[in-house]
Amino acid sequence: MPLSRFESLKNYLNLVILGQPCLTENLLIALLADGHLLVEGPPGLAKTRAVKALCDGVEGDFHRIQFTPDLLPADLTGTDIYRAQTATFEFEAGPIFHNLILADEINRAPAKVQSALLEAMAEGQVTVGKNSYQLPELFLVMATQNPLENEGTYPLPEAQLDRFLMHLNLDYPSAETELEILRLSRNEAMTKTMPQIENLSQEEIFAARNEALQLYLAEPLENYIVDIVMATRQTHKYSDELAKWLDYGVSPRATQSIERCARARAWLHNRDFVSPEDIQAVTPNVLRHRLLLSYQAQAEGISRDDVIHHILSLVAVP
């Protein structure tokens, strides 16, 4: 599997999305690790544009779903339609049956819609009535949410957050990047065109996933991943601060996600083995949405990123 095809896609993303190299790399990591992605940041930071750009570079059906408070589960999954000609019900598939889903402002959807999406993300299927329907083999949900608006939003439950492979936090660009963005938007408005790229086929994506799974991961590094996860659960064994800051640790799904993401990052960096740096690089994005901070941590202004960096400083590197 030629790495150059993914490098071309990464270059395309960096050309379309300015000043967000971490975002573009993690989009590819999510694609390689076969996981779903939650992107959070203030409005106007090209969250939707980044996801759409990834979809433009990948072979498959794409659909954008704008989540609103009046959205119904059937608007997502589809529903049984009665056909008078045959006096039978026929299933009409909803937008969730596309390969790449952009769930825009996911936290604006009510609980029933989030539950329907939860089954799709966790099981790769949806259930309508008495029947279950399998989703495509290439199925990737990329969700965005705005942290600045709380009115009319529904916080995602921990069970659904755990289904996301990674949670990316975006920040405002520098002044230099802002100027580049200004010029890029003006040029696109004048030419009415976007850069073009040859799409990655689904076969290429599946082959790359298999190659990433075959990378060498030493047993001490497997233990290192487990130790990081255990530090979120057995906090008293590591530090008093950690015990005060965390109410609950992360699930075994976090362990698996760290490994898959570390493998994907190593593959993208053209290495045939996973290094401690790969694990440390992906851990914040994998754990950020899974940690449940205590009231004391919130009162002291301790963020999840602060806790994660503290954990990484405590756990010995092999």
Quick: pLDDT tens for 135-185.
999 999 988 887 755 566 677 777 778 889 999 988 787 788 778 878 877
Span 192-220, average pLDDT: 87
**What residues contact residue 58 under an 8 Å CB cut-off, 6+ apart?**
9, 31, 99, 100, 199, 200, 205
Residue 146 CB coordination number (10 Å): 18
86 and 129 share one domain: yes
157 and 258 share one domain: no
pLDDT of residue 222: 96
82 and 173 share one domain: yes
Burial (Cβ within 10 Å: 0-12, 13-18, ≥19) of residue 17:
buried
Is residue 12, in this structure, part of any structural domain at all?
A: yes
288 and 246 share one domain: yes
Is residue 203, in this structure, part of any structural domain at all?
A: no
105 and 170 share one domain: yes
284 and 173 share one domain: no
146 and 259 share one domain: no
Is residue 190, in this structure, part of any structural domain at all?
A: no
pLDDT of residue 176: 82
Nearest to 304 by CA among 261, 247, 255: 247
Share of the chain above pLDDT 70, in %: 96
Is residue 114, in this structure, part of any structural domain at all?
A: yes
pLDDT of residue 229: 96
- If one counts the domains in the chain, the total is 2
Per the CB < 8 A criterion, the answer to whether 157 and 114 are in contact is: yes
pLDDT of residue 169: 87
Banded pLDDT at 22 (limits 50, 70, 90): confident
Is residue 295, in this structure, part of any structural domain at all?
A: yes
89: alpha, beta or left? (left if phi > 0; alpha if psi -120 to 50): beta
Asked whether residue 257 carries a pLDDT value surpassing 90, the answer given is: yes
135 and 262 share one domain: no
pLDDT of residue 216: 95
Mean pLDDT for the chain?
A: 87
**What residues contact residue 233 under an 8 Å CB cut-off, 6+ apart?**
249, 250
pLDDT of residue 106: 86
**What residues contact residue 6 under an 8 Å CB cut-off, 6+ apart?**
28, 32, 200, 208, 268
32 and 175 share one domain: yes
CATH number of the domain at 23, please.
3.40.50.300
State pLDDT tens for residues 298-315. 899 999 999 999 999 999
152 and 43 share one domain: yes
52 and 118 share one domain: yes
pTM exceeds 0.85, yes or no: yes
Nearest to 302 by CA among 239, 251, 234: 239
Span 287-305, average pLDDT: 91
pLDDT of residue 190: 77
Is residue 160, in this structure, part of any structural domain at all?
A: yes
CATH number of the domain at 293, please.
1.10.8.80
What is the span of the domain harbouring residue 255? 215-314
Residues 232, 40: Cα–Cα separation, whole Å: 23
Domain boundary among 159, 182, 205: 182
**What residues contact residue 139 under an 8 Å CB cut-off, 6+ apart?**
99, 101, 120, 124
